[in-house]
Amino acid sequence: MKVYGITDIGRMRPINEDSYYLPQEGERFCAVADGMGGHNAGEVASAMAVDTFSRHMRDVQSITGQALREAVEFANEAVYEAALENEGMSGMGTTFSALAEEEDRAFIAHVGDSRVYLVRDNAIMQMTTDHTLVEEMVQKGMITPREARVHPRRNIITRALGTEPFVRVDIMQIDVRPGDAFFLCSDGMTNYVEEYEILQAALSGEDWPQKLRHLVSIALENGGADNITALFAVIEEAAT
Ligand code: CA
C-alpha cells in the first residue's frame, strides 16, 4: 500500500498532540494517534504510542490480527508506565488507530475516537466504532447519530491507550483489492468534515496529498478548534 499523511495544529490549540506513522521502505502499516493529558503529556503519549507500535511491527514476520493487537498492547504498556513514572504525565493517554496490510488482507486495530474509513466502489464506509459516551448512547437508541455530532459530551471517550494497565483493542480483518483507499483520521477532522466530503475528496482527480490538503482546509474553515490529522492508505496492485 501507498500511504500519504498530513497533520495540522488547527486554529486554537497551542500544540499539536496528534501523531501519525507512515510506512518506511518495505513496511506495510500506518497509524494515527490523538493524545490527551495536561501540559505536553498528550503529545508525549501519542508519539510514544506510535513509536512503540511501529518498532514492534517492524519485527513481526507475518502480519496478523494477533500481531497487530500485541503491538498495540506494547504501546499501551509503554505509555502507561511512562505516565506512572513521570508526575507531569500522570493520566496521559491517546487514541490509536492502525492499518496493516498482508497480501490481499488488511487489518485494523482501534482504540478511542480516531476513525478508519474505507472508500471502495464510489462509496465510503466507517470501519471503526468510536469508543465514546455518545456512540454508546447512539447504540442504545438514546440519541441519533446527528444528535451525537453536536452533543455537549461528545468529547468523552470510554477507551484510550495508556490510561489503564491493559487495553481492549478492536481488531478487524478486511479482504482488500487494488484501488481501495483507507482514510485514518483524528476527531479534529471528523468533527468538522462530513463523510461525503471525505468521499468527494477521495474520488476527485487531485493527487492524494492534495486531497488531504483539501480536507484539512475544510476542517479549518469549519472551525479547526482541534488538531487535524489524516492519512490515505491506498491499496496497490500486488507486486508479483
Ligand atoms: Ca483531537
pLDDT tens, position by position, 96-111? 999 999 999 999 999 9
**Is residue 5 over pLDDT 90?**
yes
Rounded to the nearest angstrom, the distance between the alpha carbon of 185 and the centre of ligand 1 is 9
Question: Tens of pLDDT along 219-230?
Answer: 999 999 999 999
Q: How far apart are CA 34 and CA 139, in angstroms?
A: 23
Residue 221, all three cell numbers: 474553515
Q: How far apart are CA 20 and CA 230, in angstroms?
A: 8
Supply the CATH classification number for the domain 2-234.
3.60.40.10
Rounded to the nearest angstrom, the distance between the alpha carbon of 140 and the centre of ligand 1 is 25
Rounded to the nearest angstrom, the distance between the alpha carbon of 132 and the centre of ligand 1 is 13
Rounded to the nearest angstrom, the distance between the alpha carbon of 10 and the centre of ligand 1 is 10
The answer to whether the beta carbons of residues 9 and 16 sit under 8 Å apart is yes
Q: Where are the domains of the chain?
A: 2-234
Rounded to the nearest angstrom, the distance between the alpha carbon of 202 and the centre of ligand 1 is 22
Rounded to the nearest angstrom, the distance between the alpha carbon of 135 and the centre of ligand 1 is 16
Q: In the 8-state DSSP scheme, what is residue 238?
A: P
**Is residue 151 over pLDDT 70?**
yes
pTM of the prediction?
0.96
Question: Tens of pLDDT along 90-149?
Answer: 999 999 999 999 999 999 999 999 999 999 999 999 999 999 999 999 999 999 999 998
Q: In the 8-state DSSP scheme, what is residue 235?
A: P
* Nearest CA among 23, 33, 21, 19 for reference residue 2: 23
